């Protein structure tokens, strides 16, 4: 069964600190992995997308890594800001007959405090 597991479930950090969120998946065959940021009561917004051949991709203070061998990804947030408080969702796409099967993780709820 295709699954995406994220850890930790929730995290509280002080403003200015760094943090790393984890995503493990069992989705196969793998197409790509995307990290979304979802503010409370809003729709998710894409942060990064990574394909099989990519190890690292950055978007400002967000850096995603992918290890396709171990089926793990991480999202590192540098110098956190209050506006980083949100849920971060890992989404893995698999190649199926329909070509559009997404498996969503349950998200990591991040809170950045003063």
Partner 1 sequence: DGGITQSPKYLFRKEGQNVTLSCEQNLNHDAMYWYRQDPGQGLRLIYYSQIVNDFQKGDIAEGYSVSREKKESFPLTVTSAQKNPTAFYLCASSIALPDTQYFGPGTRLTVL
For residues 84 and 112, the answer to whether their CB atoms sit within 8 Å is yes
Of positions 4, 19, 66, 75, contacts partner 1 by CB under 8 A: 4
Of 18 and 100, CB closest to partner 1: 100
Beta-sheet pairing, 62-67 with 101-104: unpaired
Could you count the other beta carbons within 10 Å of the beta carbon of residue 64? 24
What is the footprint of partner 1 within residues 42-61 (CB under 8 A)? 42-46, 49
Would you tell me which residues interact with partner 1 (CB under 8 A)?
A: 4, 31, 34, 41-46, 49, 89, 93, 98-100, 102-107
């Amino acid at each position: 069964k295709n699954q995406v597991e994220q850890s930790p479930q929730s995290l509280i950090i002080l403003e200015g600190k760094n943090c790393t969120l984890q995503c493990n998946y069992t989705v196969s065959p793998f197409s790509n992995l995307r990290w979304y940021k979802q503010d409370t009561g809003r729709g998710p917004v894409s942060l990064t997308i990574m394909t099989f051949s990519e190890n690292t991709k950055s978007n400002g203070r967000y850096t995603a890594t992918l290890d396709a061998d171990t089926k793990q990804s991480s999202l590192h947030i540098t110098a956190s800001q209050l506006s980083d408080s949100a849920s971060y969702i890992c989404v893995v796409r698999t190649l199926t007959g329909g070509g559009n099967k997404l498996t969503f993780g349950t998200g990591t709820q991040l809170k950045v405090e003063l």
